[in-house]
Amino acid sequence: MDIIVDGYNVIFKIPELGYSTEKCDIEVLRNRFLALLEQYKEKRKHKLIVVFDGKGHGNSSEARAAGIDVVFSREDLDADEEIKRIVSKSANPRHTTVVTADRDIEQYVKKYGCKVVAPLAFYRDLKKNVARLQAFEEEGGSFAKEEGDEPASKYLGPTKKEAEYWLKVFSGKHENDKS
C-alpha cells in the first residue's frame, strides 16, 4: 500500500504540529512533521510519499532515513498537481491512500480509486501508532514477523499494564476478594 501525504495541507490542519497564527519557520514545522512520520514508518512496510510545495526548491526530492520519499513540487507545478501526477502514473492507484483536506485533490484521486483520509484522522492514527510502538519498544519487545498492512496492535499485543489487568480478571482474584 502507498500513502501519499499532502504535506503542508496536513501540517496547517493540525494545530498540535506547531502551526499558530504567529509567524513560524516553515522548515521547522516540516522537519517536526517528517520526524514524526519517520517514527511511524520504522515498522511499516508500505511506501510513504510526502509532497510539499517546492517553488524555489527546483525539482528536488529526497529520501529520508526511514524510507520516506519527500517530494518538493517542480517550479511549474504546485503540490496539488504533483500529487495528481503521482496518482495518475501509479501502477495500482486502488492501493493508494491520499491524506489531504483539499477537495479538488480528493475528487481527482477518487476517480482513480484511491482512498482519501482526512488530515486529523491520519494524525490521530499516526500518534496512536507511534505511542504504541514506543511503549512496546520500552518494554523490550520485538516483532516476530512483518506487519504488512495489518494494524500494529495485532502484533504488539497488550501493554504491560493491560496484561496485568487481564491476568487479574481471568485469575479470579479481584481487589474486593479477601481469599
pLDDT band at 149 (very low <50, low <70, confident <90, very high): very low
> For the segment 56-92, what is each residue's pLDDT rounded down to a tens digit?
444 455 555 567 899 888 877 889 999 999 999 999 9
- Identify which of 108, 107, 109 has the alpha carbon closest to the alpha carbon of residue 97: 109
Cell of 62: 529526497
Residue 117, SS3? strand
Domains of the chain, by residue range, sit at 1-179
Arithmetic mean of pLDDT over the chain: 78
Amino acid making up residue 104: D
> For the segment 156-166, what is each residue's pLDDT rounded down to a tens digit?
556 667 677 77
Number of Cβ within a 10 Å radius of residue 179? 5
Predicted pLDDT of residue 6: 95
Task: Please state, in angstroms and rounded to a whole number, the distance separating the CA atoms of residues 73 and 116.
Answer: 20
Q: Which of 50-64, 100-114, 157-171 has the highest mean pLDDT?
A: 100-114
Q: Report the percentage of the chain scoring pLDDT > 90.
A: 32
* The overall pTM is greater than 0.75: no
Predicted pLDDT of residue 58: 42
For domain 1-179, say whether CATH 3.40.50 is its number: yes
Predicted pLDDT of residue 174: 57
Q: Select the more confidently predicted residue: 141 or 50.
A: 50
